Chain A
């Protein structure tokens, strides 16, 4: 069990933000944190990793206290047993793949874990390769393997796949899920991608302005619009073209664009950049196989 009580005054993109988050996370759970930019998602991960100190509160992982403001306990990041993977690949340019992993080994670690991880992440053949010749997906697999060398009790992922194309993202998600299972990890992932959250996590937490706005299984958290249209997505308005009394609304849903016909009466003061729900009855869509 991981108990987090985190309070911190942050300088968010939209001005000061009071982060106030209390969470209990079961061992072995895969938790996702969802929210708009500036809602405090990354700060939560950074505080758990010890890269940022809360003003008040505590972080307890199993029996270990990593942070306690009242008792002035604040373990250094390297003393916290966490693996951290960021969106941008933070590999050492002067080390080959195997070197990256070996560098993370501590004296007491069994060196065989390096080969095991090379195999799980399917990067064994890249052992002697240097980062500059790796693809984005390969780099991120190396970063992931390196984060797991010390068999962390907690894996923290900060939008780890958002720079990758969809096919690669899907494969990386599978690697992470496999590692999560094989190593019995507790994983906390920050993600903007609802499909990813559905696929990966048992529990999702929606942060709004530094507070937990919703929490639960992804199906419950994202399916509570309570409209009976089952063909339902959230997206962002990219452009609006007026054509007489009609609007042609371009909406980005995941990495796909859709065009939707609407009217001013229907959508009111809709503007570019708005987050929207797009719903249709489940009876309308047609389904067609497009496997290669």
Chain B
């Protein structure tokens, strides 16, 4: 699980859905959620939130050119690759801190990913979860 603290900069709502823009150490994030400032009052500019996404939802791009629909793109450098038979865990150093991505070992080989490579970590807007800072955040429930 990748989890970073940031501040909401903007909330766009339409019906029950909202796209929430979050600034994490200068890096922009967007998350789409089934909530609005009415259902979740913490959804407002200036609120501190955690941005959360699973390792398995992090796409890695290398020398990416052209357009791509993924909205969350973070530049970084590979600091570690932990290769398994099928899956590999890639650690990327970025302005956010370490980002962990789990991708297929096949992809690691095909892209020739190595420690020190400059890459982009990308996460779809609908894979990003938010949790207000200070609330009963991701821990076991009652």
In the assembled complex, B112 has its CB within 8 A of some CB on chain A: no
Q: Which of A126-134, A163-171, A260-268 contacts B (4 or more CB under 8 A)?
A: A260-268
Q: Which of B67-75, B114-122, B125-133 contacts A (4 or more CB under 8 A)?
A: B125-133
Residues 1-44 of B, flagged 1 when their CB comes within 8 A of A and 0 if not, give 10000000000000000000000000000011111000010100
Q: Are A274 and B140 in contact (CB under 8 A)?
A: yes
Within A215-252, which residues are at the interface with B (CB < 8 Å)? Answer: 221-222, 224-230, 234, 243-246
Q: Are B141 and A226 in contact (CB under 8 A)?
A: no
Residues in chain A near residue B129, CB distance under 8 A:
227-229, 279, 281
Q: Are B138 and A245 in contact (CB under 8 A)?
A: no
In the assembled complex, B110 has its CB within 8 A of some CB on chain A: no
Kindly report which residue of chain A lies nearest to residue B83, judged by CB atoms: A244
- Chain A proximity of B100: nearest CB distance (Å): 6
Kindly report which residue of chain B lies nearest to residue A232, judged by CB atoms: B141
Kindly report which residue of chain A lies nearest to residue B125, judged by CB atoms: A283
Q: Are A214 and B142 in contact (CB under 8 A)?
A: yes
Residues in chain A near residue B56, CB distance under 8 A:
261
Interface size range of chain B in the complex: 20 to 34
CA distance A226 to B132 in the complex (A): 7
CA distance A264 to B139 in the complex (A): 15
Q: Are B42 and A226 in contact (CB under 8 A)?
A: yes
Residues in chain A near residue B85, CB distance under 8 A:
244
Residues in chain B near residue A283, CB distance under 8 A:
32, 126-127
In the assembled complex, A275 has its CB within 8 A of some CB on chain B: yes
Q: Are A277 and B87 in contact (CB under 8 A)?
A: no
Apart from A234-B141, A265-B55, A281-B33, 11 more pairs, CB < 8 Å: A221-B142, A224-B135, A225-B138, A226-B135, A227-B137, A228-B34, A244-B87, A245-B89, A266-B54, A274-B140, A275-B141
Binding site for B on A (CB under 8 A): 34, 206, 208, 213-214, 221-222, 224-230, 234, 243-246, 261-263, 265-267, 274-277, 279, 281-283
The 4 A-B residue pairs whose C-beta atoms are closest, nearest first, are: A266-B1, A228-B33, A244-B84, A283-B126
- Give 18 CB contacts A-B under 8 Å: A208-B142, A214-B142, A221-B142, A224-B136, A225-B136, A226-B132, A227-B130, A230-B34, A246-B84, A263-B1, A263-B55, A263-B102, A265-B100, A266-B55, A267-B1, A276-B140, A279-B138, A281-B128
